[in-house]
Structure 1
Amino acid sequence: MDGKLAVIGLGSIGSMALWQASRLSDSVVGFEAHAPGHGRSAVGGDTRLFRMLYRGRPDYYPILERSRDLWAELEAETGQDILTRCGGLSIGTADGPYIPKLLETTRINGAAHQILSREEMAERYPQHNLRADDVAVYDPFGGALRTDRAVTAAVAAAQANGATVLGNTPVSSITETNDGVVVTSGEQSWTFERVIIASGGWSQQLMPDYLKAHTETRRIFLSWFVARDATQFTPEKFPIFIRISGDRSMYGAPAVDSVTVKATLDGRGAPTPAADSVPRELTEAEIAETTETVTEFFPGLVPSIVRSDAFPDLFTSDSQPLLGFFTESGRIYSATGFSGAGFKMASGYGQIAANEALGKGGFDGLDFVRPQRFKN
């Protein structure tokens, strides 16, 4: 054996799984095809939103609570500023498809929140141009996660705990044997007791056939704008936001670099043939819709995209992650398929994956993310 556990892919989830596994075992190895935190993976794009308020399954709330605590632990352990705690806004039509469902989930979870009328928004957050029937819900625990800092900090913490990191080592195959799992990269191979697959858009080639039909790599694009008055879009004055108003939707983050404001169309992930060939340039239609939406939503932003990029992520057919063992043998563990919504809970997912893969205890209430749900 070359180790108890291998983590394949040290991006959003893999870096956190490696960090957590290094707390549990002194025999952990991380494989990364490039360098941890490289800008071509789903880590790219500077920031991701952290929020405790959302619409959908209440089951996510305990993972969010766990993740919030772990982000603070990672900051304390590494001295890095990872989560910019600026609050969060969910904005939408008062009786539309977004806000009522968000409030329903919020009340089930008992999450702290404050409902803001259009008039209150105009006073507190005048950067937003709301429609007549829009309202907002304020999340006091929302913030912007610095993705590159988070990943590199987690990998550094894992190495400080004794983990080995093999960069520029793309894994071409994994093979389960009676004794363990053989990991191959080119002409080299290693054998581990167990393996975690956390390679995002590159995960399909390492999956069993029953999951390939239920997953696809999609392209997610991001865009940034310059403010007419940069002081109005700092983290102190401009929380992260998600807005679904009628036919328009957008999400974004304050100017963490003091210059550019992230404002991106929501829910526009489109299938792409391969993670290595994601078109990075925005199409004319993407540019037009983005600038039209920014023009309406944010009069204080210059309606011209100053920076954009695109990244791959693995999506599942039901948009829920694949977290758990692929087979009953319990040797190969999946931590992928987060469908463009995994980073805010990456630290929590990483802790779950590390503990379960190393046999340190399971977690209840996660049937909806187990890979076995796709077995016939």
Structure 2
Amino acid sequence: MDGKLAVIGLGSIGSMALWQASRLTDSVVGFEAHSPAHARSAAGGDTRLFRMIYRGNPAYYPILERSRELWAELEAETGQDIFTRCGGLSIGTTDGPYLRSLLETTRITGAAHQILSLEEMAARYPQHNLRSDDIAVYDPNAGALRTDRAITAAITAAETNGASVKTNTPIDSITESDDGVVITSGANSWTFERVIVASGAWSKHLMPEYLKAHTETKRIFLSWFVAREAKQFSPEKFPIFIRISGNRSMYGAPAVDGVTVKATLDGRGAPTPAADSVPRDLSTAEITETIETVSEFFPGLIPSIVRSDAFPDLFTSDSQPLMGFLGKSARVYSATGFSGAGFKMASGYGEIAANEALGKRWFDGLDFLRPQRFQDP
């Protein structure tokens, strides 16, 4: 055996699984096809939103709560500034489907929040140009996660705990036997007791056939703007935001670098043939709609995209992650398919994956994430 556990892919989830596994065993090895936090991974683009209020399955809430604790632990353990705690805004049409769904989920979870009227928004956050029928929900526990720092910090912490890391080592195959799991990269091979597959958009070729039909690689693009007055869009004055108003939608983060404000069209993930062939440039239509939306929503931003990029992620047919052992396997564990929404809970997902893959603890109430939901009865 070359170790108790291999973690394949050290991006958003894999880096956190490696860190958490290193707390449970000194016999874990991480494999990364490129280098940690490389510019083509799904975590690219400097920041991701963290929020405790959202629309959707309330079963995510305990993972969010634990993730918030773990982000603080990672900061304390590594001395890195990872989570910018600036609050968050969810903005939408009064009584519209977005806020109605969000507030229903929030009622069930009990997450702290405050409803802000049009007048209150104008007084507190004048950067937003709201429509007459818009309101906002403020999340005091929201903020922006620094993705590159988080990934590299988690890997550093894991190595400090005794984990090993092999970079520029893409895994070609996984073969399971009664004695262990053999993974190969070119002419090299290793044998482990258990394996976690966490290679995001590059995971598909390592999946069983029944899952391949339920997964798809999609392209996610991001865009940034410069503010007319930089201080008005600093984390101290400008929370993260998600806005769905009428036919326009956008999400973004404050200028954590002191210069550029992330403001990106929401829900624009589009299928792409493969993770390595994602078009990085925005199309004319994407540029036009982005600038039109920014011009309406944020008069304080200069309506010209100063930076843009695009990244691949693996989506499932129901947009829920794949967390659990694959098929009847008790050795190969999946932690992928996060469908463009995984980073805020990456630390929590990493803890779940490490504990379950090593047989230390099983987490109940997560049937909606298990890969077996796609198997034929």
Shift of 1:186: 0.3
In 2, distance between residues paired with 1:323 and 1:39? Answer: 25
- Corresponding residue for 1:3? 3
User: Runs ≥4 in structure 1, deviation > 3 angstroms?
Assistant: none
CA shift for structure 1 position 251: 0.1
Extract unaligned runs of 5+ from structure 1.
none
Residue type of the alignment partner of 1:195:
V
Indicate whether 1:24 and 2:24 are aligned: yes
Q: Distance in 2 between matches of 1:184 and 1:278?
A: 26
- Aligned match of 2:76: 76
**Corresponding residue number in structure 2 for 1:322:** 322
The alpha carbon displacement at 1:329 in A equals 2.9
1:205-216 aligned within 5 A: 205-216=205-216
The range that moved more, 92-101 or 351-360, is: 92-101
1:1-376, aligned counterparts within 5 Å? 1-376=1-376
For 1:171-229, what per-residue CA distance to the aligned partner results, in whole angstroms no more than 9, with x for missing partners? 11111112111010000000000000000000000000000000000000000000000
Partners in 2 of 1:104 and 1:144 — Cα distance? 24
In structure 2, the residue corresponding to 1:13 is in which secondary structure?
helix
Letter in 1 for 2:171: V
Unmatched segments (≥5 aa) in structure 2: none
Q: CA deviation at 1:134?
A: 0.3
Q: Give the C-alpha shift of residue 70 in structure 1.
A: 0.1
User: Residues 19-64 of structure 1, C-alpha deviation per residue, up to 9 Å, x if partnerless?
Assistant: 0000000100000001111110011000000000000100000000
What secondary structure does 1:44 align onto? coil
Separation in 2 of the partners of 1:178 and 1:151? 33
Cα shift readout 1:149-175 (whole Å, capped 9, x = no counterpart): 000000000000000000010111111
C-alpha separation in 1, matches of 2:273 and 2:256: 33
- Alpha-carbon separation, structure 2, partners of 1:109 and 1:163: 36
Give the SS at the match of 1:123.
helix
Aligned amino acid, residue 171 of structure 1 = I
Identity %: 82
Q: In structure 2, how many angstroms separate the alpha carbons of the residues matched to 1:97 and 1:337?
A: 26
| TM-score, normalised relative to structure 1 | 1.00
Alpha-carbon offset, residue 328 of structure 1: 2.3
Distance 1:366 1:350 in 2: 14
Write the deviation string for residues 98-150 of structure 1: whole angstroms up to 9, x where unpaired: 00110000010000000000110000000000001000000000000000000
- For residues 289-330 of structure 1, the C-alpha deviation after alignment (integer angstroms, 9 at most, x for no partner) is 000000000000000000000000000000000000002231
Q: Deviations over 1:70-105 (max 9, x none)?
A: 000000000000000000000000111100110000
Q: Give me the whole-angstrom Cα distance separating, in 1, the residues matched to 2:126 and 2:314.
A: 36
Normalised by the length of structure 2, the TM-score is: 0.99
Structure-2 separation of matches of 1:330 and 1:127: 52
CA RMSD in angstroms, aligned pairs only: 0.4
Distance 2:12 2:74 in 1: 14
Q: Number of aligned pairs?
A: 376
**For residues 115 and 178 of structure 1, what CA distance do their matches in structure 2 show?**
56
Quote the Cα distance in structure 2 between the aligned partners of 1:327 and 1:246.
42
Post-superposition Cα deviations, 1:245-284, rounded to whole Å, max 9, x if no partner, equal 0100000000000000000000000000000110000000
Question: Aligned with 1:195: secondary structure?
Answer: strand
